[in-house]
Structure 1
Amino acid sequence: MHHRRRPAHLFPIAFLCLAATPALAQYQPRETFAPRPPAQAVNAYRSADGLPGPQYWQNKADYQIHATLQPDQPAISGDEVITYTNNSPDRLTELWLQLDQNIYKTDSRSGYANGKAREGTTDGFVLDSVAIGGGKAAPVSYTVSDTRLRIALPMPLAAKGGQVKLHIRYHFAIPGEWGGRMGWGKAKAGPVYEIAQWYPRMAVYDDIRGWDTLPYLAQEFYLDYGNFDYWVTAPSTMLVAGSGELANPQEVLTSEQQSRLKKARASDKTVTIRSVPEIDDPKSRPKKDGTLTWHYRMQNSRDVVFAASVAFAWDAARINLPGGKSALAMSFYPAESQGSERWGRSTEYLKDAVERFSARWYPYPWPVAVNIAGPDDLAGMEYPGLLFDGIGDKTKDLFWVTAHEIGHTWFPMVVGFDERRDAWMDEGFNTFIDVYESDDFNHGEYAPKRDVEYAPSGGNPVDEIIEVLKDRDAPPILSRADTVIEKYRHPVTYFKSALGLVLLREQILGPERFDAAFRQFTAAWAFKHPKPDDFFRAMESSTGEDLSWWWRGWYDHNWTLDLAIDKIGPATDDKDKDNKDKAPKGTAITVGSHDKLVMPVTLRVDFADGSHRDYRLPAESWIRQASTTVIVEPGKKVVQATLDPDHKIPDGNRGNDKLRADAK
């Protein structure tokens, strides 16, 4: 069991006395603390305080989709109507859509970008028809370019509220487990289909780039928000779990299952909806033959997905949300995943994570949260309100992956980061909030968080990150996501990004200031599209700190930290240094910065009487010179001094962090 230590009592900064010593060669204050003007301009859309401006806008995409799962092929055929609303101040002469299934084509850019051929290929999205119109839709010309679809509009779409309806019929082959983020694989009782990126989706037109048409190279997504109404037709023997709320339970569930669901909505303990023994029982389905159509609705979402299988057991429990509201946590898993060491606790994990994230950061916005046990090769992928995790996941690994994937609800499903460009915000912010969920769950049952995404080797994160900081080839956090190779994806995009927020919260700002600013940022940008500069501005404006030195060292660059105790000696007054009869002025402890990155640090001074005192040195201790001096008053005999005694900051050279007063 692990508990985070409470901060030690810190003595006032008044004890500090700056010493004008010569700058060390490795450290230049004017470089570390140089001005860092934001790259993004302030305007009516994005304010100087990092929050949405008075004229902020974004476009909206509403979807109605009818899809059929054809397991004999396997394939999906679909018919969608997109109602696209142009809230921008610009007339639009064209529309762009994302065709992510085209990543599986033999000539996709992604295949070349990844440097190796895919295990399998498909024909991607096959577009049977593309038309525009409210009543009788008229065919329209279009161009497919890799994973993008461009439609030339016959008439410009008016600004500030113009609307157009797109009608698209399509089909595609479902990839196997090599699909990566979606596909199908086998459980013992039958196939499990995890269906995502399953309909052409609108690209984002925003105030930064206009149409953001980055090709899909396996980084994740950037999508506008809207309302979804969708119907999935599948064999009647299957359970279909989808994003959002089931709108027709009376048509696709037995009366007993409907009754159990009602009970689950009022229960904090997990309620079985379809038991493992019932998986093979024909009575657990409303009819034995043919198909059933499952109707789901989801409001204010950027995407929807679903999973389908004959092999699913199903359980659920109530989620308690702020303000007396509630939602439903549900898990679907095959027989081989049952048991208290496996998926029997999935709904418990899911419920706890949603409740704690909601209380700490922002309320969960949807009526249902679902965890799916599917093929292990497809495991660990998040979508709005629904997660794809692994049949083989168990104990702490199942807890960690569940908390992490549902944590993506907040980043980037609610706070709509552009994952294709800024994956560090998506993965790093989410990994950051996971850290505290691991501490909190069941009195720290699975704490501290030490999975592959945070402290990959299981050690202290501030020690493990040093290897990343010292790696000359490691990319900075603020790199285009597509350029970060797999070797550095977890160490930088997840681990370093998350640790940067932990350090900002616990060592630089303190939880009180950080949490208030972070919550304000999250609420202000809920269901909107913030960019990196919006976050940097918001944190500075709300907390009252110029953090340019931190953004530069940790985010713009891969700088390292080396703070050191350079000297312990008698304190002297320069004016009286030749007057040997003067009374002693106390003890001077000199702390230097030997590398480009700086951070606040705790200096612990041990005294001969067995007591100690902690001094808190701010980052500005090194804003003018390479070292600062702490003066201990006369009458306190110093035995030794130690930097970072609780091992909280990533100092790359621990050998110079401790010095005895009698050391020569």
Structure 2
Amino acid sequence: MNFFNRKLALATLVLGGVVMGNAQEAQGNQQLFSEFLEHSGNEFRTATGKPGEHYWQNETDYKIEAILDDKAHTITGKLTLEYTNNSPQTLDFIWMHLEQNRFTENSRGNLTTPIGGNRYNGDVDGGYTITNLEAKVKRSTSSKHIITDTRMQVFFDEPIPADGGKATISMDFTYKIPVKGMDRMGRLETKNGTIYALAQWYPRAAVLDDIEGWNIEPYLGAGEFYLDYGDYEFKITAPYNHIVVASGALQNEKDVLSATMRDRMEKAENSDETVYIVKPEELDDMSLRAKQSGTLTWNFKMENTRDVAFASSKAFIWDAAKINLPSGKKAVAQSVYPIESDGQEAWTRSTEYTKHSIENNSEMWYEYPYPVAVNVAADIGGMEYPGLSFCSWKSTSAGLWGVTDHEFGHNWFPMIVGTNERRYAWMDEGFNTFINYYSTMKFNNGEYPARLNQTRNSVSWYTSPSREGIDTYPDAVNLRNLGMIAYAKPAQGLLMLREYILGPERFDNAFKSYIKTWAYKHPQPRDFFNHMENVAGENLAWFFKGWFYGTGNIDLAVNSVRPYQGNYVISISNEGDIPMPVKMLVTFDDNTTQLIELPVEIWQRENSWNYMLNTDKKVSKVELDPNKILPDVNFSNDSWPVSQYQN
């Protein structure tokens, strides 16, 4: 039956009348309403979605010294990692990630990339050379290690003690910086020099947790990162004419910035308007530099972070402005970009965008904890690291706003709330896409469109036979589905929770509590589900199971509206796989309206329901979900009379 004939058939049923009562037997939703979430807590993670009494996570503190060679395009460095084992077991070894090994001809990531390529293309002439490795526990020293693709197992002669035992791992490393770094890092040639965007640039410790043990998934492409927290001190030695920006606070301004640049930065730190540190017309003015030859070493520190990144170039225009935080503290928004990206329709507004994104999310959800927020123009579509983002040097206007807000939104998910991106992309991409919606609505009173609430634009995907579930492993997902299952669908799920199911007050209370509770920790999906239920005071198993697991859809329907004993009976049904509370807007013949809300529990036993509307007015129209929050997959049955609703 085609779309028109189905509408005609429904209209005929309405005009002919429908038998009164819940006579239509349909399969109920007992399975969705039955206990789905694993509420049973333990000493590590509680049933309320909070860390348990004996919750633990390990700590990784780094000291790194690196040299950027702009002739050979290499990084050469020395790393010292102090590893604290807070787990209840001794450790004979630790695992580390060597993500630069992805850029080799025989890497797993390269060998699993289709011939035609995809977003995650990368060079194949790179990879780490690791030397002088030492792993120390107390007085014992070991150099034993095994490198397998993008992972390295480092062994100890004496185990790291449990419950706070420490080890020190040191090594030298070098690699060639790729041009194409899988849209996450790399090199960009510009008119005035090369822009180096450096991320995944040092060997990083893998996470040991109470759920998976060692999280040792190889770095393939779509799966991102999962890291422990610690303090970082890192020094970058670059050519004298380069500007280096990085995660964390610069420690030696007097050594690397001229007096003019320091004065301008001080002005920017106290200004709500953008202030140039290096103006577009000053790119060739070496008198601004602290030295006129050789190299400069830039020293940065960042505390309680899961990672750091940096960028370096002689081609950077550099500007900055103050970030105002709710507590009264200040941070600094900065942008660096080439002359090709200059202009009011382009990167000249980058710092304005960065400032708003950080301020809005701090006010609405949780205060930004880092001293800087740096936006770097690079040949990267958009990629986030703590306190620093890489965005496309070609982005302009709404596109630049969108990518800037998205990448800095990631400071909340997964930088503050340290989820496992490599396994659960939706817990960072989806959550971030959700908060981006509200940030965009607030920016300049809606200067740019916020479209997350236009959920029905995605119906063609929701009904596609090739769709996949949100819970699909990122590296295994069909890349054509990644945008929906990692970004849009989980974000629309949170939108439904806030705007349709719980309401803003209850949702915000629970969501902010989740962020605060799991800040700088490692929540699992179960922790999020449990925490939202417990703080919001609502059994949401039917929604979490239906929306986040599997490929079921929403389809609520108005079947008939019939006079009965001086009132009206409105017959509705759940034609989809996922039940929903019902919001009906009834319009009367005098153009007044009444909003009727029915709880989700009407669908516990059957998929049909009759509602008695007590009124002495004549009903002229009934419309489900009047604000169109739900991605209902069937437009034709959402209102009565059917012919009055056209989508």
Bucket of the pairwise TM-score, normalised by the shorter protein: over 0.9
User: Which of 535, 544, 547 pairs up with 2:540?
Assistant: 547
User: Which of 638, 651, 654 pairs up with 2:619?
Assistant: 638
| Contact 1:568-1:661 at 8 Å conserved across structures | no
Corresponding residue SS for 2:283: helix
| Contact 1:466-1:560 at 8 Å conserved across structures | no
Deviations 1:204-247 (A, max 9, x none): 01111221111111211000000000000010010011110000
- The reply on whether 1:483 has 2:483 as its aligned counterpart is no
User: Which of 242, 245, 248 pairs up with 1:244?
Assistant: 248
- The reply on whether 1:149 has 2:130 as its aligned counterpart is no
Q: 1:280 & 1:661 partners in 2: Cα distance?
A: 68
| Contact 1:21-1:625 at 8 Å conserved across structures | no
Corresponding residue SS for 1:558: coil
| Contact 1:21-1:626 at 8 Å conserved across structures | no
Q: 1:64 to 1:568 in 2, by over 3 A?
A: same
Q: 2:339 & 2:270 partners in 1: Cα distance?
A: 26
| Contact 2:470-2:550 at 8 Å conserved across structures | yes
Deviations 1:444-468 (A, max 9, x none): 11132x4xxx5xxxxx632122222
- The reply on whether 1:220 has 2:221 as its aligned counterpart is no
Q: 1:194 & 1:206 partners in 2: Cα distance?
A: 30
- 1:36 — aligned with what? 36
User: Which of 375, 396, 402 pairs up with 1:371?
Assistant: 375
Deviations 1:256-289 (A, max 9, x none): 1011111111111111111111111111211221
- The reply on whether 1:586 has 2:567 as its aligned counterpart is yes
Deviations 1:176-218 (A, max 9, x none): 1354211101111111000111110000011112211111112
- 1:326 — aligned with what? 330
Q: 1:59 to 1:634 in 2, by over 3 A?
A: closer
- The reply on whether 1:162 has 2:165 as its aligned counterpart is yes
Q: 2:637 & 2:313 partners in 1: Cα distance?
A: 59
| Contact 1:642-1:659 at 8 Å conserved across structures | yes
- 1:409 — aligned with what? 411
Q: 1:415 & 1:279 partners in 2: Cα distance?
A: 39
Q: 2:138 & 2:92 partners in 1: Cα distance?
A: 21
Deviations 1:504-539 (A, max 9, x none): 110011000000000000001000000000000001
Give 1:119 shift: 5.6
- 1:9 — aligned with what? none
Q: Matches of residues 606-625 of structure 1 in structure 2 within 5 Å?
A: 606-625=587-606
Deviations 1:31-71 (A, max 9, x none): 43233142x85211111110111221110000000000011
Q: 2:573 & 2:138 partners in 1: Cα distance?
A: 73
- 2:14 — aligned with what? none
Q: 1:75 to 1:472 in 2, by over 3 A?
A: same
- The reply on whether 1:45 has 2:38 as its aligned counterpart is no
| Contact 1:468-1:492 at 8 Å conserved across structures | no
Q: 1:624 to 1:57 in 2, by over 3 A?
A: same
Q: Matches of residues 305-320 of structure 1 in structure 2 within 5 Å?
A: 305-320=309-324
Q: 1:298 & 1:517 partners in 2: Cα distance?
A: 29
Give 1:625 shift: 1.4
Paired amino acid for 2:502? L
Q: 1:662 & 1:364 partners in 2: Cα distance?
A: 51
- 1:499 — aligned with what? 492
Paired amino acid for 1:28? G
Give 1:661 shift: 10
Q: 1:193 & 1:32 partners in 2: Cα distance?
A: 50
Paired amino acid for 1:53? G
Q: 1:543 to 1:179 in 2, by over 3 A?
A: closer
- 2:111 — aligned with what? 112
Q: 1:163 to 1:482 in 2, by over 3 A?
A: same
Q: 1:280 & 1:386 partners in 2: Cα distance?
A: 25
Paired amino acid for 2:319? D
Deviations 1:318-371 (A, max 9, x none): 100011111000001111211211111111110111011001100000111100
Q: 1:23 & 1:191 partners in 2: Cα distance?
A: 69
Paired amino acid for 1:398? L
Paired amino acid for 1:253? L
| Contact 2:101-2:126 at 8 Å conserved across structures | yes
| Contact 1:560-1:596 at 8 Å conserved across structures | yes
- 1:235 — aligned with what? 239
Q: 1:626 to 1:602 in 2, by over 3 A?
A: same
Deviations 1:400-420 (A, max 9, x none): 111100000000000000000
Corresponding residue SS for 1:133: strand
| Contact 2:240-2:295 at 8 Å conserved across structures | yes
Q: 1:423 & 1:527 partners in 2: Cα distance?
A: 18
- The reply on whether 1:77 has 2:70 as its aligned counterpart is no
- 2:5 — aligned with what? none
Q: 2:187 & 2:162 partners in 1: Cα distance?
A: 42
Q: 1:586 & 1:176 partners in 2: Cα distance?
A: 71
Corresponding residue SS for 1:292: strand
Q: 1:134 to 1:645 in 2, by over 3 A?
A: closer
| More off after superposition, 647-656 vs 160-169 | 647-656
- 2:85 — aligned with what? 86
Q: CA RMSD in A?
A: 1.8
Corresponding residue SS for 1:471: coil
- The reply on whether 1:185 has 2:188 as its aligned counterpart is yes
Q: 1:314 to 1:45 in 2, by over 3 A?
A: same
User: Which of 342, 353, 356 pairs up with 1:352?
Assistant: 356
Deviations 1:82-116 (A, max 9, x none): 00000111111111101111111111111233333
Q: 2:138 & 2:489 partners in 1: Cα distance?
A: 52
Deviations 1:377-421 (A, max 9, x none): x23000000010111111111111111000000000000000000
| Contact 2:137-2:160 at 8 Å conserved across structures | no
Give 1:630 shift: 1.8
| Contact 2:319-2:336 at 8 Å conserved across structures | yes
Q: 2:96 & 2:127 partners in 1: Cα distance?
A: 14
Q: 2:532 & 2:547 partners in 1: Cα distance?
A: 15
Give 1:309 shift: 0.4
Q: 1:165 & 1:55 partners in 2: Cα distance?
A: 25
Q: 1:19 to 1:213 in 2, by over 3 A?
A: farther
Paired amino acid for 1:463? R
Give 1:140 shift: 1.2
Q: Percent identity?
A: 41
User: Which of 515, 531, 534 pairs up with 2:508?
Assistant: 515
- 1:6 — aligned with what? none
Q: 1:19 to 1:620 in 2, by over 3 A?
A: farther
Q: 1:479 to 1:119 in 2, by over 3 A?
A: closer
Q: 1:502 to 1:662 in 2, by over 3 A?
A: closer
Corresponding residue SS for 2:516: helix
Q: 1:529 & 1:509 partners in 2: Cα distance?
A: 25
Corresponding residue SS for 2:55: coil
- 1:15 — aligned with what? none
User: Which of 594, 602, 619 pairs up with 2:583?
Assistant: 602
Corresponding residue SS for 1:260: helix
Q: 2:544 & 2:111 partners in 1: Cα distance?
A: 33
Paired amino acid for 1:383? Y
Give 1:551 shift: 1.0
| Contact 1:28-1:596 at 8 Å conserved across structures | no
Q: 1:545 to 1:119 in 2, by over 3 A?
A: closer
Give 1:610 shift: 2.4
Give 1:29 shift: 2.0
Q: Matches of residues 96-111 of structure 1 in structure 2 within 5 Å?
A: 96-111=95-110
- 2:135 — aligned with what? 132
In structure 1, runs of 5+ residues without a counterpart are 1-17, 455-459, 572-583
Q: 1:347 & 1:99 partners in 2: Cα distance?
A: 33
Paired amino acid for 1:256? T
- 1:263 — aligned with what? 267
Q: 1:354 to 1:560 in 2, by over 3 A?
A: same
Give 1:125 shift: 1.1
| Contact 2:141-2:156 at 8 Å conserved across structures | no
- 2:177 — aligned with what? 174
| Contact 1:313-1:332 at 8 Å conserved across structures | yes
